[in-house]
Amino acid sequence: MRSLRYILRRRKTDEFSTYAYRWLYSRAQYLHHRSQSHIISKSLFGIFRSLVEQYHRHVPIEYLCGSAMFCNRLFIVNRHVLIPRRDSETLIHHVQELYRHNHDVQSMLEIGTGSGCLSITLSRLFPHWKIDTCDISSSALRVARNNAYLHHCHNIQFHRGNLFDTRFLENTSYNLIISNPPYISQDQVSACNYGIFHEPSIALFANPPLKFYAEIIRRAINGWLKDQGYLVFECSPFNVMSIRELLKPDFEQIEIRYDENHLARVISAKRKQKQPLL
């Protein structure tokens, strides 16, 4: 059996790759151990070589290792879900700020749960909330449910559905709606790094880029969001001002939050109270 040290000596590796190889080697050991219980057991070296090849084809290391960190928690990931991003932690911190002094039970809806990282983190921070979360992809929901089990979340209901289906989650309303919807437009694709092409396109691309925001806002004011309820979106710095314009007619206290690279990353707003009819 060839050792990791042998492989590292043979390949020209920089410091980062050496570190990545160590992770991949542990993953290969785990997969090898698992494959031994199957009829066709694969060699450790074969598994490791395949992982290294994929790594050099820019497959994100989170997919190869099967996990990613978000808000200091480990989440299972696979190619059916977007890899949780550090930028998205801005949304969590902002929701925490909004509800710091509010201890009432809140109901929350998330559109586009993916790995479940947002709803699950909020479920752990606010265990008394009632959380509904949805995704169009049943494969993504499978991952999210496993993550909810891993983190002992008992207050989340998972729904499969399409935001653009008008019957979807009819007659329900919430105090808070959050979403990190797909928002990359075709003309921004060239600026993306290679790794993104291995992530599900349904999680990333929207044409036109504001269509998810416009639909969530429309459904929020048509019943999904209670009076004085909050809408909190993750967005890109390119579309934050357009989203603000969409929010202005029916929302107040519009706030923009910046990520650690000082880029506008989150926008939130409070639904205006309906004026009583005279």
Ligand X SMILES: C[S@@+](CC[C@H](N)C(=O)[O-])C[C@H]1O[C@@H](n2cnc3c(N)ncnc32)[C@H](O)[C@@H]1O
Write b or e for each residue in 70-109: b if 16 or more Cβ atoms lie within 10 A of its Cβ, otherwise e: bbeeebbbbebbbbbeebbbbbbebbeebbeeeeeebbbb
Options 117, 169, 231, 243; binder of ligand X; rule CB under 6 A = 117
Instruction: Give residues 173-202 in contact with ligand X (rule: CB under 6 A).
Output: 180-182, 202
User: For ligand X, how many residues bind (rule: CB under 6 A)?
Assistant: 23
Q: How far apart are CA 182 and CA 199, in angstroms?
A: 12
- Scanning 208-271, the segments in alpha helix (DSSP H) are 211-219, 240-247
- Binding to ligand X by CB under 6 A, coded x per residue (else -) over 136-175, reads xx--x---------------------xxx-----------
Instruction: Give residues 79-108 in contact with ligand X (rule: CB under 6 A).
Output: 82, 84, 88
CB closer to ligand X, 64 vs 136: 136
CB closer to ligand X, 41 vs 186: 186
DSSP strands (E only) in the chain = 67-70, 73-76, 107-111, 130-135, 156-160, 174-179, 225-234, 251-258, 264-271
CB closer to ligand X, 117 vs 122: 117
Instruction: Give residues 63-82 in contact with ligand X (rule: CB under 6 A).
Output: 82
CB closer to ligand X, 113 vs 268: 113
The least distance separating ligand X from the CB of residue 35, rounded to whole angstroms, comes to 29
State how beta strands 225-234 and 251-258 pair: unpaired
Q: Which of these, 119, 124, 127, lies nearest to 157 by C-alpha position?
A: 119
CB closer to ligand X, 24 vs 163: 163
Separation of CA 265 from chain center: 14
Options 20, 47, 51, 112; binder of ligand X; rule CB under 6 A = 112
Instruction: Give residues 10-29 in contact with ligand X (rule: CB under 6 A).
Output: none
The least distance separating ligand X from the CB of residue 170, rounded to whole angstroms, comes to 15
Options 71, 203, 216, 231; binder of ligand X; rule CB under 6 A = 203
Token pair belonging to 112 = 């586009």
Q: What is the dihedral of CA 5, 10, 16, 21, to 10 degrees?
A: -50
The least distance separating ligand X from the CB of residue 83, rounded to whole angstroms, comes to 7
Q: Which stretch binds ligand X (CB under 6 A): 15-23, 50-58, 98-106, 109-117?
A: 109-117
Options 106, 113, 147, 239; binder of ligand X; rule CB under 6 A = 113
Q: How far apart are CA 109 and CA 124, in angstroms?
A: 15
DSSP state of 155: S
Q: How far apart are CA 115 and CA 139, in angstroms?
A: 10
What 3-state DSSP class applies to 159?
Answer: strand
**Residues of this chain that bind ligand X (CB under 6 A):** 82, 84, 88, 111-115, 117-118, 134-137, 140, 162-164, 180-182, 202-203
